[in-house]
Structure 1
Amino acid sequence: MSNITAALYAPDHLSVNLQHFAYNVQQHPRFSWWNHSSFSDASQAAYQLVVFKRLQDRDHQTYLYDSGWVHSAQNSAVTAANLADSLHPGDLYYWQVRIKDNLGHTSDFSQPAKFICADPALPVQQGIWRQSQPKSGEELAHIGNVVFLRSPQLTIDTNDVDTAVVVAFARGNEPIFAQSFDLYVNGHCLGVGSARQQEHDHGTDRTAVYYNVYDATDYLESGTNTVAALATGSSDRRAFWCQLIVYKHDGTKEVVTTADPSWRALDGSSAFGDFGVKIRSQYFGMVSENIDMRYYPQNWASKTFDDHDWPAAWRNPQPMIADDEVLVPYRSENTERIEVHDANKRIVTFSPQNRLIDLGKEIIGGLTVDLASDTDQRVTVLMGEQLEDNGHVRHNMACGPDYVENWTLVKGENHFTTLQMKNFRYVELLGFEGDLHLDAINGWAMQQRFPDNEGNFQSDSDLLNREYELSKYTIKATNQDVFVDSQARERRPYEGDLLVNANTSYTVSANYSLARHSLDYLIDNPTWPEDYKLFAIEMAWLDFLYTGDDTLLKTRYTALQYKLNRGKSAESFDGASQSFKGSLKNSKGVDNFDEKVGLVTNDGLVDWPISERDGFVEGTYNTPFNAIFYGAYSTMAKIAKVLHHDDDAAHYQDRAATIKKNLIDKLYDDQTGRFFDSLNADQPSTAIPHTMLQPMRFAMACILTRQWLIV
């Protein structure tokens, strides 16, 4: 039997503001970490947190901040007293933590983690793109929806470098509801950007435009280096901006390059076969990727690529940030590009010129391709999430897009990546002649970092285990810049969808920042179902329970209170009206609680489309809406209590109790054990004698009836 020495291990999973490398820090960062011990009944009794500017400072214990031993069991959302005076915008910092347990043991310090203080004065004016020019030869017209960008050769001595980051964002792809560029340093893809903008930022008339910061330290080389980007945009604001910033060992920092006309730019219309035809859903249209290797610049992102014949980049004269916009750092993890190699990947051959690649699992993203061709040839490419009954790809997806594209290959090597965000598992090639190796075409997924080992579950039920794995992979595959209903159809956040996404994410991942960011977005940009707006209150409470961090509750308390005012107004929308002119902006609204009846008026989604409501009878006071309101008022009372708004807490709890009592007294039938659908205003004491299963379940899930508690 092996002899294992018991130990209190160094903390890990360090995060600031819920991010492993935060760059949105203002003056008061919130620190969190995980503790591990092999001692029974061990728990944290104290911690010591230190902050320093460079890694070498750690070796000499030259700390900018040292908390000393703080007697506390808290290891999430920890604040550092008096640290704010030492933090400066745009500067880089490291931090470490160690703990003592209740048994008297002291851990080692954690590995150091970085954070950057947000710089509100980034020198952003105009960005770069490729100006339209006359075509030559057999080129397609330069319509500018796709562009390749490369920096000049950048000479760097890595011996001087502590950390290097690229700050980047782009404009012009907003109509596509997707991030618009892949960013590279020396041929390595740092990630995808920039995150979706946020209208009505924190209840204002401003739009928050997000920038991302990417750690490039490990990919710099002594000597020459190149920053590159492949970007797409569809509006006349399309532009890309970035800076490569080096933080040096001596404590200084240097801006090595800024995207400007010293960069080179190549119009990608011919390379992507873009002649204006879009792949569309009802809500967006994105560039078709008809790759033409006669024009695609292979290895374009590497530092050795010769770009001397590329034109100089064009500076778009439109400002990157308009007067009614504000540039702010993104608040979750960056989306990365992951080359996917699934163990279940396989190739199915229908005929020598018709083969299907099953990637093994759903991919949200694109493809990385490395095909050897014996001849110049054209190939039809079909992609989709499902197979037809005959085993071929269903490329015309039920949600709208039709993934049919063509690749023009050249004799020899054909190496490229696609850019647009698609949903698919299967890739079918028609007309390809030659050997097709298993790794010739791989998924080029767009995902936030997702350590697979952070959440695990096993039971004696095979079905339950499969459901868990499906849920886990769903979150892994769909965690881009904001949780949405579907990346293939609407690409829009919904409170009801977030309730599912976030609760699933909490159980399979330690990344809480994306759920919080998505909720923050939806607080400012609610969707039309009136009951969905109430889900924001529940999600805010869950965010607090899972993170131990009350930041969102404090900053969004008033906005959450507004969610409870769901009386009909100019901002109310039933989802079907063709004459709606409201903005859906979160506003104070109208209180819909009827003191005389003890219930709320108005109604929620119930089911959608309306034809799916199975005969639900809508009245003035509707059972499912009131049941959800009972939960919302109860939860808002808890939030108010945590924030020490005691009068509010009492008020909300009283509302919840009143609604619960009247739901039972006026809408519950003791004889049948059913809740009726609704009450009318002219007969507030007599329920409409119709019961639909869904509202009854809503009510039973939210309240204690006379006989039992349904949870």
Structure 2
Amino acid sequence: MKLRSKRKYYFLQAIFLLSFTFVQSQITSAPTENDFETELVKPVKVIKVAEGHYFIDFGKAYFGTVVMHSKKQQNDSLIVHLGEKLNDNKLIDKTPGGTIRYQKAKLNQLDANQNIVISLKADKRNTKVGAIQLPSSFGVIMPFRYCEIENLKIPIEELDIYQKGYYYKFDDEAAIFKSSDTILNAVWDLGKHTIKATSFTGYYVDGDRERIPYEADAYINQLSHYALDSEYSLARRTNEYFINHPTWPTEWLLHTVLLFYQDYMYTGEVEMLEKYYDVLKTRTLMDLERKDGLISSKSDKLTGDFKLELGFTKPDTRVRDIVDWPAGQKDTGWKLANKNGERDGYEMVAINTVVNSFYYYNLHLMSKIADALDKTEDVAFFRQKAAQVKEVINNKLFDESRGIYIDGEGSSHASLHANMFPLAFDLVPDKYKKTVTEFIKTRGMACSVYGAQYLLEGLYKANEAEYALELITETESDRSWWNMIKIGSTMALEAWDMKYKPNSDWNHAWGTAPTNIISRYMWGITPKTPGFNTVQIKPQLHTLSSSEIKVPTIKGSIEAKFNLTKKGYERYQIALPKNMNGEFVILNNVSKVIYNGNPINKTEIITLKTGVNTIILVK
């Protein structure tokens, strides 16, 4: 039960169809108070703990504070506790550990018939220079789900209490997902709320500990946000932030091209590409190439001058490979449940397979970006260079005797990461896809919540949808999204569990991989051409008996339903908005295809039209 008191600042979706002026105008502007919404949430549960002591559950965590309105005066002081986590006694954990939030506040008195906003103390780390600053009108806000009140002398019935949540403009109705798998539904809901709630700064930030944008965090955030809302100003603002605020990991720099490419594909606009084309070329790190085309962060070419060219303000910035995070005990100094951290024992050699897989993918995307800008010579240049790097990776970083990739040049160790990234980036030759995927399936979830994005992408690309779904809906292991729900969080965690990263927070959007994977790979709904002029729908719903989804796009919503009929036929109903064409890709062998009631010749691709399309596949 919620009482919604929202300040809406949306433009109608029709405006997007008529003009991209609004999107373009947001490119360089900082967020203002008008870009945000507030929501007043009533308690879902109020429990009397003792005389004058009450426990309140608002149902979900938001970034915000508490607002009270009392019908009676209390001249005595009142103690208020806010927190994200419960202890074993089902009360707020006042020593939650890591970066899980708790705060205690005191009111000197409770004035009748006044709106009282609980005043909170700012956290030094996430409000210092370098962190994203909030509009001054917000005051200090923190993430919390629970509230406790002590020393309440008036009847609780005389006190109205609300959680006041802040977030960037968000259309709750823009996206839906339901399926026959209730665990899958809960994981999607977790991701949706995470994306909504963590938008509270107007940028894609890493979480509440730092409130700083990082490229890899932002990329997963961007993909999941696009699966939930056709709002692009937040992503564009964050992308521009990275032009002058790059971060230190090699692979994070190599996410820059990915961020800008997805903006182009989802909006169809080239302005950002034109404006920052030269920066994007630099961020591919091709200046670090050695003669065979591979790159290394250990290269002598990574000079102070080049670091300045990359956008760093200090020439002595230490750029280094990350592969995944956190690293092992030796690297972090933490006592971890997994002493190897989230790298699956990765051997950090100079010529790194993960880094060079990212490099190849950057070159591949730059050829597409150059094509969008009619830079014919650059198209040929990047295609040639991408082909060269792909060939060298497969010649030098692949162990043919085992049919899998090694961690890098000179290494004999093969990790999950050295194989899932090449699979996700289409580097694996067809004849070795089986051995690579078989190896990947022996490693389980031996990566972080960040790495899971690429693990799942690779699996779906390799038609391993059943195994991918098993990972998404895993309930026995603590290395799962269900574990995040089970321990009590309503937003994605920074790590699978606190024991895997002791300083973790409970509000990290880089943990929302399933949200975009469900849309982009399980249902397979992606822009085939920029701006969704043509959509590709390539579903892999194998073990589900039913599902429905609504995906927002710049042209309007795509709505689709799936169910297995009593005869075991797969039935799809797909509704496309005006001015959008589509193609439906059939991945598995079928004996018969019926489109809009008419049998058609067996085909791998069905052309979809605006309006409702009905497809029945008979195995």
Same-fold call, TM > 0.5? yes
Shift of 1:563: 0.4
Q: 1:337 aligns with which of 27, 38, 49?
A: 38
Which residue identity lines up with residue 417 of structure 1 in the other structure? V
Matched residue SS, 2:355: helix
Q: Which residue matches 1:457? A: 177
Distance 1:616 1:638 in 2: 31
Matched, 1:657 2:380: no
Shift of 1:422: 0.4
Distance 1:521 1:479 in 2: 15
Q: Which residue matches 2:78? A: 379
Cα distance, 1:669–1:437 mapped onto 2, change above 3 Å? farther
With normalisation by structure 2, the TM-score equals 0.55
What are the equivalent positions in structure 2 for 1:348-427 lying under 5 Å apart?
348-397=47-96, 398-399=98-99, 402-410=102-110, 412-418=112-118, 419-427=139-147
Q: Is the 8 A contact 1:533 1:563 kept in 2?
A: yes
Matched, 1:607 2:307: no
Q: Is the 8 A contact 1:526 1:584 kept in 2?
A: no
Distance 1:676 1:583 in 2: 29
Shift of 1:448: 2.1
Higher relative contact order (CA 8 A, sep 6+): 2
Cα distance, 1:625–1:636 mapped onto 2, change above 3 Å? same
Distance 1:669 1:408 in 2: 70
Shift of 1:341: 3.6
Shift of 1:212: 3.4
Q: Which residue matches 1:92? A: none
Which residue identity lines up with residue 548 of structure 1 in the other structure? G
Q: Is the 8 A contact 2:48 2:54 kept in 1?
A: yes
Q: Which residue matches 1:668? A: 398
Cα distance, 1:588–1:493 mapped onto 2, change above 3 Å? closer
What are the equivalent positions in structure 2 for 1:205-354 lying under 5 Å apart?
210=30, 212=32, 214=34, 334-341=35-42, 345-354=44-53
Whichever structure has more strand as a proportion of its residues is 1
**Structure showing greater Rg:** 1
Matched, 1:446 2:446: no
Q: 1:705 aligns with which of 420, 425, 429?
A: 429
Distance 1:708 1:425 in 2: 48
Q: Is the 8 A contact 2:206 2:217 kept in 1?
A: no
Matched residue SS, 2:108: strand
Shift of 1:415: 2.3
What are the equivalent positions in structure 2 for 1:128-143 lying under 5 Å apart?
none
1:277-336 deviations in Å (ceiling 9; x for gaps): xxxxxxxxxxxxxxxxxxxxxxxxxxxxxxxxxxxxxxxxxxxxxxxxxxxxxxxxx113
Matched residue SS, 1:447: strand
Distance 2:24 2:368 in 1: 32
Q: Is the 8 A contact 2:68 2:160 kept in 1?
A: yes
1:235-285 deviations in Å (ceiling 9; x for gaps): xxxxxxxxxxxxxxxxxxxxxxxxxxxxxxxxxxxxxxxxxxxxxxxxxxx
Which residue identity lines up with residue 389 of structure 1 in the other structure? D
What are the equivalent positions in structure 2 for 1:144-183 lying under 5 Å apart?
none
Q: Is the 8 A contact 1:365 1:445 kept in 2?
A: yes
- CA-atom RMSD, angstroms? 3.5
Q: Is the 8 A contact 1:77 1:549 kept in 2?
A: no
Matched residue SS, 1:393: coil
Q: Is the 8 A contact 1:606 1:624 kept in 2?
A: yes
Shift of 1:504: 0.6
Q: Is the 8 A contact 2:285 2:359 kept in 1?
A: no
Q: Is the 8 A contact 1:562 1:588 kept in 2?
A: no
Shift of 1:454: 1.2
Ranges in structure 2 where 5+ consecutive residues have no aligned partner: 1-8, 119-138, 290-294, 298-302, 313-318, 329-340, 434-457, 462-619
Which residue identity lines up with residue 202 of structure 2 in the other structure? V
Which residue identity lines up with residue 630 of structure 1 in the other structure? Y
What are the equivalent positions in structure 2 for 1:462-611 lying under 5 Å apart?
462-565=182-285, 587=310, 604-611=321-328
1:615-648 deviations in Å (ceiling 9; x for gaps): 3222221100011111111011100110011111
Shift of 1:691: 1.4
Which residue identity lines up with residue 605 of structure 1 in the other structure? I
Which residue identity lines up with residue 367 of structure 1 in the other structure? V
Distance 2:86 2:37 in 1: 28
Shift of 1:402: 4.1
Shift of 1:428: 1.1
Matched residue SS, 1:472: helix
Q: Percent identity?
A: 24
Cα distance, 1:487–1:436 mapped onto 2, change above 3 Å? farther
Shift of 1:340: 2.4
Matched residue SS, 2:156: coil
Q: 1:625 aligns with which of 355, 370, 382?
A: 355
Q: Is the 8 A contact 1:346 1:438 kept in 2?
A: no
Q: Is the 8 A contact 1:526 1:586 kept in 2?
A: no
1:58-104 deviations in Å (ceiling 9; x for gaps): xxxxxxxxxxxxxxxxx46568xxxxxxxxxxxxxxxxxxxxxxxxx
Cα distance, 1:532–1:486 mapped onto 2, change above 3 Å? closer
Which residue identity lines up with residue 677 of structure 1 in the other structure? D
Q: Is the 8 A contact 2:204 2:235 kept in 1?
A: no
Aligned residues: 376
Distance 2:235 2:95 in 1: 31
Q: 1:645 aligns with which of 372, 375, 378?
A: 375
Matched residue SS, 2:173: helix
Cα distance, 1:353–1:449 mapped onto 2, change above 3 Å? same
Matched residue SS, 1:664: helix
Cα distance, 1:444–1:475 mapped onto 2, change above 3 Å? same
Matched residue SS, 1:428: strand
Distance 1:492 1:513 in 2: 18
Shift of 1:209: 8.2
Which residue identity lines up with residue 616 of structure 1 in the other structure? Y
Shift of 1:431: 2.0
Cα distance, 1:473–1:583 mapped onto 2, change above 3 Å? farther
Matched, 1:694 2:417: yes
Q: Is the 8 A contact 2:84 2:102 kept in 1?
A: no
Q: Is the 8 A contact 1:527 1:533 kept in 2?
A: yes
Q: Is the 8 A contact 1:359 1:425 kept in 2?
A: yes
Shift of 1:337: 2.4
Shift of 1:586: 5.6
Distance 2:306 2:157 in 1: 52
Q: Is the 8 A contact 1:603 1:625 kept in 2?
A: no
Cα distance, 1:116–1:527 mapped onto 2, change above 3 Å? closer
Shift of 1:557: 0.9
With normalisation by structure 1, the TM-score equals 0.48
